[in-house]
Amino acid sequence: MKGRQILLDHLDGREAAALMVDGQLDDLLVETDGPAPGTIYRAKADRPVKGQGGMFLSTPDGQVFLRQVKGLSPGETILVQVTGYAEPGKAMPVTTRILFKSRYAIVTPGAPGLNVSRGIRDDDERDRLLEIAHGEMGEAEHGLILRTGAEGADADEVAEDIAAMAELAERVMSDRAGEPEKLVEGDGPHLLAWRDWSEPAEVVTAEGCFNSHGALDAIAEARGTRVALPGGASFFVEPTRALVAVDVNTGADTSLAAGLKANIACARALPRALRVRGLGGQIVLDLAPMPKKDRRTVESALRGAFRSCSVETILSGWTPLGHFELQRKRARAPIG
């Protein structure tokens, strides 16, 4: 099926949203038992962990871990926001750089200034959006970023979105005193799909749409480790406790360029493979054999592929053994 479909349904009894692009599963959001990224707490500093350069904080939902805690003493209260999903047996990661995100606007306390996403390149449209932003934010101390989804959106809707996020930011940021408390609940999969998948798409909300639109079959395939590539090549994605290993195979192709072709195909398919599996942390690529002079070509393919990925990924580079390493935010719950 051609085009984009956003499917809002349930998976194994949990709220879930799937993005299908030309019949392929492109992204998947699934509700978990723990707090969702974006949840904001008033937390109390508990105990520092000097060896890790951070501190455990107490919240109503258990301990969380905050890095870079210079000037923070045990017993102090602080506002923090959940940034991703925790590894099994570890505390949730949080940050003091709190953001208030909606479909069109991101309010940024502590970072003043009105900005428009670089993805919006039309000067007239940028001027229109900045005019709306100035009208709503005025002399507010908080900053604002207008997201790519605001391009072409109705002016009243954009203004309403900005006002709602600014009001929420003002209310939360002034509520610093008191015992540990959950101040804002993170967005669930359906709301996240509305917020982040802003490109034009058919939205399907009928119960059972995962099954009728092929998402269940795609999810079952993603729960496996093998990803097929053109020409008979493939790669395997296998999470371990320490890292995610990616192994590239050329298949039956024995030509001189087989390794390079398989590695470039893997680079293009890897962001989607990691997204739908909900995998993050340290990623190590064991690429197919190829001449050392071709490394730059593969690295360029990786950079191009991850540039458009919605999940923050750092391309760390090559190891002495010829592996390529990435560091990826744990922005999705693992479907395994």
Burial of 335 (0-12, 13-18, 19+ CB in 10 A): middle
Q: What is the pLDDT of residues 11-48, one digit of tens each?
A: 999 999 999 999 999 999 999 998 999 999 999 999 88
| Extended beta strands in the chain, E state | 4-11, 14-21, 24-30, 40-49, 54-59, 62-67, 77-82, 92-95, 100-101, 105-108, 114-116, 143-146, 181-184, 202-204, 226-228, 234-239, 244-249, 281-286, 313-318, 324-328
According to CATH, what is the number of the domain 223-328? 3.40.630
Which of 64-68, 80-84, 87-91 has the lowest average pLDDT? 87-91
Q: What is the pLDDT of residues 207-216, one digit of tens each?
A: 999 999 999 9
Q: What is the pLDDT of residues 257-288, one digit of tens each?
A: 999 999 999 999 999 999 999 999 999 999 99
Mean pLDDT of the chain: 93
Tell me the fold of 40-98. Answer: OB fold (Dihydrolipoamide Acetyltransferase, E2P) (2.40.50)
Half-sphere exposure at residue 181, Cβ-oriented, CA atoms within 13 angstroms: 8
Per-residue confidence band for 231, with pLDDT thresholds at 50, 70 and 90: confident
pLDDT at 88: 79
pLDDT over 90 at 292, yes or no: yes
Over residues 230-251, the mean pLDDT reads 94
What secondary structure does DSSP assign to 310-326, as a single string?
SS-EEEEEE-TTS-EEE
pLDDT over 90 at 182, yes or no: yes
Q: Give the predicted TM-score (pTM) of the model.
A: 0.91
Give the domain ranges of the chain. 4-31+195-215, 40-98, 100-176, 223-328
How far apart CA 327 and CA 110 sit, in angstroms, is 27
